[in-house]
Amino acid sequence: MEAKAGRPRDKETERRILEVTVRLLAEEGYSRMSIDGVAAAAGVSKPTIYRRWSGKADLATAAICTIRLAEPEISTGSTVGDLTAALQNFSRSLLRPNGMALVGTVLAEEGHTPELLALFRERLVMPRRAIIRGILERARRHRELRSGVNLDAAVSMLVGAFYARYLATSKVPSRFAQTVVATVWTGICKPS
């Protein structure tokens, strides 16, 4: 039982394949994305891909698995400031080229490849919500919130406003985060 029998698998190759897959998944969408295309763009042959993943769905899910939300630490000193900063980060990622396309493709494939949506939730949706929920929970601990506020609903409103806005115009003004936070905050903060 040696540590490494045979030719070692090239870690760099694997990374490149997944990177390319994430890109094509966003650019082309799941069903347009082809293994041929991934292989060509990654500079490997198709069996190199099939040796690692059992098929297209498996590759796509693995690719989504590699995505990790990389958000900077937020600490502005105030709840409103933190929420605004978090949503501005979100806004930026949404407005990146194909920023919404990946969201679209996992939703579109829900009926055919539900793993995509499941993983997308686990890797991207939930972590982002957790950040925002964390800010709200801290505010609650600091007794800034009125009683009975539903934090999950608040998170959905804050984040969702951007989805809805994008769906309406593809353009999100830079002050949008402030406006949204202000409104929601008025709705959930303890009345003065």
Name which of 41 and 182 has its Cβ closer to DNA. Answer: 41
Residue 6 interacts with DNA (CB under 7 A): yes or no:
yes
Q: Are 190 and 145 in contact (CB under 8 A)?
A: yes
Kindly state the number of chain residues that form the binding site for a second copy, as judged by CB under 8 A. 57
Residue 34 interacts with DNA (CB under 7 A): yes or no:
yes
Copy the structure tokens of residue 68.
């990790």
Alpha helices in the chain (DSSP H): 11-28, 35-42, 46-52, 56-66, 79-95, 101-108, 114-120, 126-141, 151-169, 176-188
Q: How far is CA 79 from CA 58, 91, 156, in A?
A: 40, 18, 17
Burial 149-187 (b: 16+ CB within 10 A, else e): eebeebbebbbebbeebbeeeeebeeebbeebbeebbee
Name which of 33 and 155 has its Cβ closer to DNA. Answer: 33
Binding partner of residue 140 among DNA, a second copy, none, CB cut-off 5 to 8 Å per kind: none
Least Cβ distance, residue 6 to DNA (angstroms): 2
Residue 106 interacts with a second copy (CB under 8 A): yes or no:
yes
Among 29, 37, 99, 127, binds DNA (CB under 7 A): 37
Closest by Cα among 38, 26, 20 to 108 = 26
Q: Are 27 and 10 in contact (CB under 8 A)?
A: no
52-91: which residues touch a second copy (CB under 8 A)?
Answer: none
Least Cβ distance, residue 137 to a second copy (angstroms): 16
Binding site for a second copy (CB under 8 A): 6, 27-32, 45, 98, 100-101, 103-112, 117, 121, 125-126, 129, 149-150, 152-165, 167-170, 176, 179-180, 182-188, 191
Binding residues (CB under 7 A) for DNA: these are 4-10, 13, 31, 33-37, 43-48, 50-52, 55-56
